[in-house]
Chains A and B, each alone.
Chain A
Amino acid sequence: MDIRMAGVTKVFDQDIVALEDVHLSVDSGEFLYLVGTTGSGKTTLLRILSREYIATRGQVTVGDRNLRKIGRSELPFYRREVGVVFQDFKLLSDLSALENVSFALEAMGLPPRIVQNRANEVIDQVGLWRRRFLKPPQLSGGEQQRVAIARAMASSPSVFLADEPTGNLDIRTSEEIMKLLLSINAAGTTVLVATHDRNMVDAYRQRLVELHNGRIRRDERRGRYLLDDEL
């Protein structure tokens, strides 16, 4: 699905402007890095797309849905089409890695056999087959990250949003995760990755959008992480 944002502004309480007049157009099947200093509005932008937040002003459409007009009963079905890897994972700590994935599939009302097959499949794809029965507290940070990715990709979403998926990970693990995200994108999914990871951005060059104080400062087809003043 494609994403269109026009004149999007997000103002929080106490007049904190997190996004200001953002125009962003992402075609179906594109891969896009969202970079910018801390507090520049990356998470806010992703949360507007996952409909955790509603834009204060401006239009947001994903596929043929106007996000402002999604009703209470339609929201769950929209969320199934948008896979999200949260900055803080949001895994349930008393469920195993496999259960964290199957739990999300069950919530969509899929029958047990399909749930089992699909959960096994994605857990295997993210390389956690041998650790599938461990619970999040028993997994390393990178492994938890991969459980979160597995859960987000399980429903075969059309849009995939990842918030700092390689934060605090070593280069090798980061590379594995980047390859995973690229393979999700190769299957036709639109992927947005908010990141501070300059190694990854520079190693796997993709379209890059830089936010600065809530505004888009750069939008390059195969951008480098380096900021203007560093060049």
Chain B
Amino acid sequence: MTSFRYALRDTFRLLFRHWGLSLLTLVTAASVLYILGFTGLFSLNLRQMISRVEGGLVVQVFMKKGQNADPVVALVKTMPTVTSAAAVSPEQALEKLRAKLGNQARAVTLLGENPLPWSVEVQVGRAEQIAPLVRDLIAVPEVEEVLYSGKLVERLTTISRAATTASGTILVLAAIISTLVIFNTIRIAIYSRREEIEVMLLVGATRTYISLPFVIQGTLLGAGGALLAIAGIWGTYASIMNAVRTSLPFLDIIVDRRTLLQFFLLLFATGATLGWVCSWLAVSRFISRASRAK
């Protein structure tokens, strides 16, 4: 308990007596987390845009004459990939056709009875889920035909996979670079205190006693850097949202406050954790080296 009080006091000593290095660490953490945050936000937006397009894909299932849609509706209800399924009766189909064709639709009704079959409009979340779905639907004996836009689905599947890989890679790279930069900045800060650490070791301070102030300081600076980064990202992103709304309204970027808030909380936690882990690693490495007997 006593040691913890000393640790807190020493943390503030570290922070303010050597404010130049604290500031350097803070600014570095903020810049690095700003870039990391933006990369994350970009990936999130990309993912959302693609999934909107993917979710809009419709598979049309036409039933054989005299069959209603029940067998297909019952089947797709058991499929976890299906996000929605709507049965369309011949009457509804005719209505739609009329609305589309206007006067020419009369030709259809000239025959007297409605020639259109029952059909079902099925939607899934991801483009790559369409191919297996279609395979299952064709196998249903009551189904006459399954229609979907094959080329588009293929392309979307490819784009979606590529986008996931690319944004994942960029994110991982950004995370690695952030960690390295923060780690090395903290290492410099610790190196500048080497005399103090060495003397502490020589007079019999425990490793925990020596590292605690550095770890608390690292966590605080990481968290502080994250707050600055969040403020910066919020400012930039707000103006991007405005610009998109006025000049590119079809672009479907994330504006949902809850999603953004969650994202910022995650970034904050990342900053604090990075500061904590990096300073802990750096200081334990340093202490191990310094206390190794020659």
A residues with CB within 8 A of B:
12, 50-54, 72-73, 75-80, 84, 86, 90-92, 94, 103-104, 106-112, 151, 155
Question: What are 5 A-B interface contacts by the 8 Å CB criterion?
Answer: A52-B294, A76-B207, A90-B202, A92-B195, A107-B203
Bound form: Cα–Cα A103–B202 in Å = 12
Least CB separation from A81: chain B residue: B204
Name the A residues within 8 Å of B48 (CB-CB): none
Out of A72, A111, A151, name the residue touching B203 (CB < 8 Å). A151
Kindly identify which residue among B5, B195, B204, B293 contacts A107, using a CB–CB cutoff of 8 Å. Answer: B204
Contact B293 A110 (CB under 8 A): no
Q: Once the chains bind, are A107 and B294 in contact (CB under 8 Å)?
A: no
Please tell me the size bucket of the interface on B: 20 to 34
Select A80's contact among B199, B204, B210, beta carbons within 8 Å. B204
Residue pair A155, B195 in contact (C-beta under 8 Å): no
Q: Which of B198, B201, B204, B207 contacts A108 (CB 8 A)?
A: B204
A99 to B126, CA, bound (A): 66
Q: Which residues of A contact B3 (CB under 8 A)?
A: 109
New A-B contacts (8) at CB < 8 Å, excluding given A107-B203, A108-B203, A151-B203: A54-B293, A75-B291, A79-B204, A90-B198, A103-B200, A107-B205, A110-B2, A112-B2
Q: Is B12 an interface residue (CB 8 A)?
A: no
Among A53, A92, A104, A109, the residue within 8 A (CB) of B294 is A53
- Collect the chain B residues with CB atoms within 8 Å of residue A76's CB: 201, 204-207
B189 → chain A closest CB, angstroms: 16
Nearest chain A CB to B211's CB is how many angstroms away? 12
Chain B residue at smallest Cβ distance from A107: B205
Residues of B within 8 A of A78 (CB): 204
What are the 10 closest A-B residue pairs judged by CB atoms, nearest first? Answer: A107-B205, A79-B204, A80-B204, A104-B203, A54-B293, A76-B204, A76-B206, A109-B3, A111-B2, A53-B294
**B206 and A53 contacting across the interface, CB-CB below 8 Å:** no
Determine whether B95 belongs to the interface, using a CB cutoff of 8 Å to chain A.
Answer: no
A54–B291 Cα distance when bound, in Å, is 12
B17 on the interface (CB 8 Å rule)?
yes
**Cβ of A84 and Cβ of B202 under 8 Å apart?**
yes
Interface of chain B residues 235 through 258 with chain A (CB within 8 A): none
Distance of B193 from chain A, by nearest CB (Å) = 10
A53 to B293, CA, bound (A): 5
Set of chain B residues within 8 Å of A12, measured between Cβ atoms: 294
CB of B148 within 8 A of chain A? no
In the complex, A227 Cα to B207 Cα: how many Å?
A: 45
B205 touching A108, Cβ below 8 Å: yes
Q: Are A92 and B199 in contact (CB under 8 A)?
A: yes
Query: Which residues does chain B contribute within 8 Å of A52, judged by CB atoms?
Result: 202, 293-294
Q: How far is the CA of A103 from the CA of B196 in the complex (A)?
A: 10
Complex CA gap A111/B238 in Å reads 51
Known: A52-B293, A94-B17, A107-B209. A77 touches B204 (CB 8 A): yes
B294 near A155 with CB under 8 A, answer: no
CB distance from B197 to the nearest CB of A (A): 11
Chain A residues, CB < 8 A from B209 = 107, 109
CA distance A84 to B204 in the complex (A): 11
C-alpha gap A94/B198 in the complex (Å): 15
Cβ of B191 under 8 Å from chain A: no
Residues of B near A84 (CB, < 8 A) are 202
Contact bitstring B277-294, A, C-beta under 8 A = 1, else 0: 000000000000001011
Interchain CB contact under 8 A, B291 and A72: yes
CA distance A155 to B195 in the complex (A): 21
Does B19 lie at the interface of the complex (its beta carbon under 8 Å from any beta carbon of A)? no
